[in-house]
Structure 1
Amino acid sequence: MLIQPYLFFDGRCEEALAFYGQAIGAQVQNLVRFKDNPEQPDDQPAGPRPPDGEKIMHASMKIGESLVNASDGDCLGKPTFQGFSLVINAKDEAEAKRYFHALANGGGVTMPLSKTFFASAFGMLHDRFGVHWMVMSPP
């Protein structure tokens, strides 16, 4: 069994994909825009429609060995990410510092990166989109 996170950026998905590419080396594997949907809105059940076909219906990005899925969702401009954190297990303290500071750019630090009894470096933050992260390196 494999579990993969699916993040809804509510209209900021393209910006998020670019940010994660720059910050932590995420590589977009697949990207489908709403305009690429062969079914016209009249063929679909009633519900929210994206404001423009350029918004992202589905994307997947590879981060290290993991795959994270993403979408613009309903495009209401109010992304919320609560009750979970994505964890980066860095190979060493230097890599942990690099990822931590890159992800915190435009976001906020919940717990500064520091040595703990279980890691040579551990810290918590939320990025500019509100996604919560824990970054750690081995003891």
Structure 2
Amino acid sequence: MNIHPYLNFDGQAEEAMNFYKKTLGGEFEGGINYFSEIPGMEISEEEKHRVMHITLKLSDEVKIMASDNMPSMGHQLTVGNHNYISLMPDSKEQGNKFFEGLSEGGKIEMPYEKAFWGAYFGSFTDKYGNGWMVNYTLKEGEE
């Protein structure tokens, strides 16, 4: 079984996913699908450019999916602290790269530093309101 976080945005899905791709790498799987592609659906010019679905494939097992809401359909985005994406990097340096890159313009809750449980850990809310945790578990002999 795979579990993929699915993020919702208010017109910023494409921008946010490009930002995540810039820092995390990966490729968009299947391109970017816009609401304008739905046959026979009448929507405003602004909503035509909203993302219906996008997948950032980081590996076969790890994908981040997203879409924009549709105000004309009664959708309303409520940003909160109900969801975090937890990254488990392969090295302390990779964790620092992810933390520094993704937290740019956001709000740091806990800086990326050595934690009492034998890991480097940090958490933040990115500039789009999504929560992230970066946790690198130290290997024996690492500081």
**TM superposition score normalised by structure 2:** 0.81
Distance 1:38 1:81 in 2: 33
Aligned to 2:57: 62
Q: Tell me which amino acid in the other structure corresponds to 1:54.
A: H
Equivalent residue for 1:74, pick from 70, 74, 87: 70
Q: Which residue of 1 aligns with 2:34?
A: 33
Percent identity between matched residues is: 29
Structure 1 segments, 4+ long, off by >6 Å, are none
Q: Deviations over 1:45-67 (max 9, x none)?
A: xxx97833121111111134411
Contact 1:11–1:77, Cα closer than 8 Å, also in 2: no
Give aligned pairs, total.
133
Amino acid corresponding to residue 86 of structure 1 in structure 2: I
Q: Residues 33-89 of structure 1: CA distance to partner in whole angstroms, max 9, x if unpaired?
A: 111112323xxxxxx978331211111111344111100112588551421211000
Indicate conservation of the 8 Å contact 1:32/1:58, yes or no: yes
Give the CA deviation at 1:137. Answer: 0.8
- Equivalent residue for 1:44? none
- Residue 115 of structure 1 aligns to a residue whose secondary structure is strand
Take 2:63 and 2:40, find their aligned partners in 1: how far apart are those partners? 27
Deviation of 1:120 after TM superposition, in Å, equals 3.2
| Aligned residues of 1:33 and 1:57 also touching (Cα < 8 A) | yes
1:82 match: secondary structure: coil
Structure 2 unaligned segments of length 5 or more: list them: 139-143
Tell me how large the CA RMSD over aligned residues is: 2.3
Partner amino acid, structure 1, of 2:68:
D
Specify whether residues 83 and 106 from structure 1 end up closer, same or farther in structure 2 by C-alpha distance, changes over 3 A only.
Answer: same
State how far apart, in whole Å, the 2-side matches of 1:58 and 1:95 are. 28
Task: State which drifts further: 111-120 or 70-79.
Answer: 70-79
TM-score (norm 1): 0.84
